[in-house]
Amino acid sequence: MQVTDFYVSAPGKAILHGEHAVVHGKVALAVSLNLRTYLRLKATTSGKVCINLPNIDTFLSWDLSQLKQLVTYFHGKRDEVQRLDAELVRRLREFIGVTNGNLDTCSMATLSFLYLYLSLFGSGELPSLTLTVWSELPTGAGLGSSAAYSVCLAAALLCASGAIPPPLKEWEHTARWCQEELELINSWAFQGEMIIHGNPSGVDNAVGTWGGMLRFLAGKIIPLSRVPLLRILLTNTKVPRSTKVLVAGVKDKINKFPSIMVPVLDSVDAISCTCEKVLSEMTCEPITGEHYNILEELIDINQHHLNVMGVGHPALDRLCQVTLAKGLHSKLTGAGGGGCGITLLRPETDSLIVQSTVQELKDCGFDCWETSIGGPGVQLLHLKGSTTSNGRIFLQGVLTSCTFQSLHFSLLPEERN
């Protein structure tokens, strides 16, 4: 089977409001991050399938004859998403030499790739190709790194298999697929996430697919049609934490003090809904300082609520103190107990203020990036002369230079949630 070259990217994600409350039936808002994962699929004539993961200095290669032995029984359709094939997963785990329950980063990335590759090409001739993946997303920080990887895999392999057409015109730098095609990409990306996480919510891969902002309530994910692009600082405190332990702690507190904690959850729900309303207004009328005032107040209130839930941490308190001293407003994003926080930047925020804030946060031992939320989901990009949306990676068919600060060649895993 002859395939052509493809270059795709997908964003990471952050929770704007509603973390932990969403577990108890409240609204959460998830937004795309303008920190992206990039994938290059290159057709070859080597008779091999190769995957290159520069973040972990890994290059793996298999002869097509080896892989064909794994799909002799397989008769799936590449334009239909089947239930996760437990037998294929079992065979692949044996194939890569991982039969116990624990998978390291390389094994998870490899297993997810091989599963999607064989599922999409297994009913026909297996193509020879090389896949290279790199990312701006830090790992293990709850920022959707594994989902961005899975979305890129799904989009590139679906295109290469002919299940969806490449939407890019010759004169375009980037292009997006139609709704039906995005739904197919998202469904296959969810398969990859199931291999990595076991029982994912589906939020991360949905954000990676559609971008912008998604409303998540009681298992239902609704992409919002329009949201403003907001500047933020994203800070990783690098404090490790267990999502499972934190979720259990919130549940215990609710059971112990229901008359106190249930109103807190209701308030967080109201914060998410109010934020959604304000952001919607900002897309259809002139943006004012009052819009930003409300967004900042909501951030402050929600951060206090999260501390009441018991998912704060001294490192996150320090983040809020440093930014508030600069007139900026921050909250944790994700599970809490460490991890990451986001800081809203107004359009008029002076660049010197931003630079000094970033430096102070780095002096605290944190990683910090200036980025944005609300950007596009998975995209197909032109291979020649392509540039990322922030202009920091330049390609002429291959990665030729990385000039920006704090580049992270990273993939997996994020916390199991």
- Which residues are known catalytic residues? 146, 204
Other CB atoms within 10 A of residue 96 CB: 16
Q: Is there a contact between 40 and 7 (Cβ–Cβ < 8 Å)?
A: yes
Task: Tell me the torsion sign for CA atoms 68, 69, 70, 75.
Answer: positive
Q: In what order do the strands lie in the sheet with 393-396?
A: 384-387, 393-396, 399-402
User: Which residue type is seen at 254?
Assistant: I
Task: Tell me the torsion sign for CA atoms 62, 65, 66, 72.
Answer: positive
Residue 29 burial (C-beta neighbours within 10 Å; 0-12, 13-18, 19+): buried
Task: Tell me the torsion sign for CA atoms 298, 303, 306, 308.
Answer: negative
Q: Is there a contact between 23 and 246 (Cβ–Cβ < 8 Å)?
A: no
User: Which residue type is seen at 166?
Assistant: P
Helices (H), 133-230: 145-161, 179-197, 203-210
**C-alpha closest to that of 46 among 28, 65, 29:** 65
Integer CA distances (angstroms), 236 to 176, 294, 341, in order: 30, 25, 7
* Distance, CA of 69 to CA of 67 (rounded, Å): 5
**C-alpha closest to that of 167 among 8, 40, 23:** 8
Q: Is there a contact between 115 and 107 (Cβ–Cβ < 8 Å)?
A: no
Q: Is there a contact between 189 and 147 (Cβ–Cβ < 8 Å)?
A: yes
* Distance, CA of 157 to CA of 113 (rounded, Å): 9
Contacts of 128 (CB under 8 A, 6+ apart): 43, 44, 45, 46, 47, 48, 49, 64
* Lookup result for tokens 């997303």: 137
